[in-house]
Amino acid sequence: MVSRTNKFRGRNRTHGRGKKAGRGAGKRGGRGNAGMNKHKVMHRLKYMPGHWGMHGFNRDPSLISVHLTCNLQELAKLSDGKKKIDLSEFGIDKLLGSGKINVALEVTVEHASAKAVEKVEAAGGTVIQPEEELNDE
């Protein structure tokens, strides 16, 4: 039995496709998402709603607070034998409770975690946090 492609061989080497459609991705309008904003735009609008654009949750950068932190284990290096230490002088605005502290220090810092306060007070020191002003409107 002879294959039907033999009928199209010879002079008609394009197998009935013409010259250009048989090359590359011609008959399908391009490869992949080609033409989604041009000749395939109606297909995109009908069958792919929400394909482009932003999805999900957006975080407002003004609501994200970034603290420069310091752990308890670094306090000994910063204090240099002093009993009082103001972390705002070093640009630190939050004290975290990682590590151990054996020296009784008076630490002034804007924010401190509960574990940090607990460990400093257990060593005989205190954590001073300036009160934030509340605006009553």
Q: What CATH number does residue 74 fall under?
A: 3.100.10.10
Tokens read off for 115: 């574990």
Domain-located, residue 21: no
13 within some domain: no
Main-chain dihedrals φ then ψ at residue 62, nearest 5 degrees:
-75, -15
Residue 33, in any domain of the structure = no
| Number of domains the chain is built from | 1
Residue in the structure block whose two tokens are 């009928």:
7
Give residue 12's pLDDT.
61
DSSP letter, residue 19: S
pTM, rounded to two decimals: 0.53
Q: In whole angstroms, give the CA distance from residue 86 to residue 98.
A: 19
Note down the domain range covering 84: 66-128
Residue 53 within any structural domain of the chain: no
Domain contains 79: yes
Contact (CB, 8 A) for 40 and 32: no
pLDDT tens for each residue of 88-103: 999 999 999 999 998 8
Band (pLDDT 50/70/90 cuts) for residue 78 is: confident
Coil vs helix vs strand at 85: strand
> Can you tell me whether residue 71 is helix, strand or coil?
strand
Does 116 fall in a domain? yes
- Lowest mean per-residue pLDDT among 21-25, 43-47, 75-79: 21-25
Identify the weakest region by mean pLDDT among 45-54, 85-94, 106-115: 45-54
Residue 81 lies inside a defined structural domain of this protein: yes
H/E stretch holding 127 reads strand 126-128
Task: Tell me what pLDDT residue 133 has.
Answer: 47
Would 99 be classed as within a structural domain?
yes
Which residues neighbour 46 within 8 Å (Cβ) at sequence distance 6 or greater? none
